[in-house]
Amino acid sequence: MAQSLTLTITALRERVEAIFLNAGLNPVQATALTTVIVAGERDACKSHGIYRIEGALRTVKAGKVDPRAIPELQLNEGSAIVKVNAKRGFANAAFELGLPAFAKRTSEFGLAALVINDCTHFSALWPEVEAVTKEGLAALVMCPSYATVAPTGGNKPLLGTNPFAFGWPRKDAAPYVFDFATSVAARGEIELHRRSGRSLPQGWAIDAEGNPTTEPEAALAGAMLPFGGHKGSAIGTMIELLAGIMIGDLTSPEVLDYLGTTTLAPFHGELIIGMSPEAFAAGRPGDPFARAEKLFDAIVGQGARLPSQRRFAARQTSETQGIILTEAEVEQLDRLRELGLEAVS
Ligand code: NDP
Ligand code: PYC
């Protein structure tokens, strides 16, 4: 019987990567997936940590993602739009491939975009936002998902949980980063509530008849609600337009039609917009980075916390004390490593 275990980040990486390699992913895909999943556990973001491995493997087994894909960079000279075709692999490997050229163009032009097409995407967006801020750039990242959210005033799933993230680089501190679903909560949170037998908070979801529910099962069969009423509904719609229709990729209802289920990871595109604060502020008074620090100080000075502060604190704890996994989680990792795709239905 496996015991609960404290693992170093490196040790967890080795376990997760072994699962993906044993399941037939090539090293490009396995390494990129391992990086984001381990980052999720390390930063105490359980809804996008090791719990996502099973879904990724299910998607491989269903033939809806190519585990051996090699993403392809498409550069047009003089264009601020850098494209990567994920070749039906996971988005994470495509992002890693596109980042250097995208960062270079953003610095050159002051503003550039990285478009990822034909990818499977299940991860949190903050690893990508943080990678862009490391280049001294600000970033907006967004993607659709699959239809699970009713637009405000509606009663059936149509929009995705469509994550939206922003990052601002800081010279002597961790970047300012927020990253959230445009639904009240990520769907992963509903699934985690279901698994642990907890009710949902009021206002997260409606059942299949359109009535408010706090039952995870009923919510999964019904629809989630956008955050902030009509405001979240409009931002979720904007993401369908910009990161679905505008980049020639699938919208959330089209993703659900294509997959036929929400038990697999969604297949669509992703849009990353990079901005150089120095280029935008050129010729105007003040250093944008110093001015940003004043704003952050004022926020914290009121007793508020910056987004990602909890995550960065969790990261520090993991780096010094390791990552604690429950007995059930350790057993599941062992099972997935041993059985590979046989472990998932
Ligand atoms: P949360 O509501 O947990 O957090 C949203 C953001 O708000 C985080 O940056 C968080 O920082 C910050 N925050 C939370 N509380 C406070 C506070 N009191 N003061 C200041 N900031 C605060 O996120 P969601 O559940 O909506 O989303 C979780 C993840 O799911 C995201 O990473 C998202 O990318 C991912 N997701 C991915 C999808 C996909 O299709 N790939 C779809 C939907 C979601 P902190 O972390 O420090 O608490
Ligand atoms: O948690 O809402 C979610 C989600 C959907 C796809 C990946 N994550």
Residue 12 clears pLDDT 80, i.e. is over it: yes
How high is the pLDDT of residue 47? 87
Residue in this structure with the two tokens 């959230």, named with its chain if needed: 180
Residue 95 clears pLDDT 60, i.e. is over it: yes
Q: Using one digit for the tens of pLDDT, what is the confidence trace for 28-67?
A: 999 999 999 999 999 999 989 999 999 999 999 999 999 9
How high is the pLDDT of residue 316? 98
Residue in this structure with the two tokens 């297949």, named with its chain if needed: 267
User: 220: which residues sit within 8 A by CB, 6+ positions away?
Assistant: 190, 191, 194, 262
Dmax over CA atoms of the chain, in Å, equals 65
Does residue 49 have its Cβ closer than 6 Å to ligand 1?
A: no
Strand ranges in 76-221 using DSSP code E only, listed in sequence order: 81-85, 111-120, 138-142, 164-168, 176-180, 205-206, 212-213
Residue environment code for 51-62, b if the CB has 16+ CB neighbours within 10 A, otherwise e:
bbbbbbbbbbbb
How high is the pLDDT of residue 257? 97
CATH classification (class only), 1-61+308-345: mainly alpha
Q: Which residues are catalytic?
A: 47-48, 189
How far, in Å, is the centroid of ligand 1 from the Cα of 278? 28
Does residue 307 have its Cβ closer than 6 Å to ligand 1?
A: yes
Residue whose CA lies nearest to ligand 1 atom number 10? 307
Q: Are 99 and 70 in contact (CB under 8 A)?
A: no
Q: Using one digit for the tens of pLDDT, what is the confidence trace for 261-306?
A: 999 999 999 999 999 999 999 999 999 999 999 999 999 999 999 9
Distance CA 299, CA 73 (A): 40
Residue 159 clears pLDDT 60, i.e. is over it: yes
pTM for the predicted model, two decimal places: 0.96
Q: Using one digit for the tens of pLDDT, what is the confidence trace for 219-267?
A: 999 999 999 999 999 999 999 999 999 999 999 999 999 999 999 999 9
Write down the domain spans for the chain: 1-61+308-345, 71-183+226-305
Options 3.60.15.10, 3.50.50.60, 3.30.1370.60, 1.25.10.10; which CATH number does 71-183+226-305 get? 3.30.1370.60
How far, in Å, is the centroid of ligand 2 from the Cα of 188? 6
Residue whose CA lies nearest to ligand 1 atom number 2? 180
Mean pLDDT score, 146-174: 97
Q: Using one digit for the tens of pLDDT, what is the confidence trace for 111-136?
A: 999 999 999 999 999 999 999 999 99
Does residue 122 have its Cβ closer than 6 Å to ligand 2?
A: yes
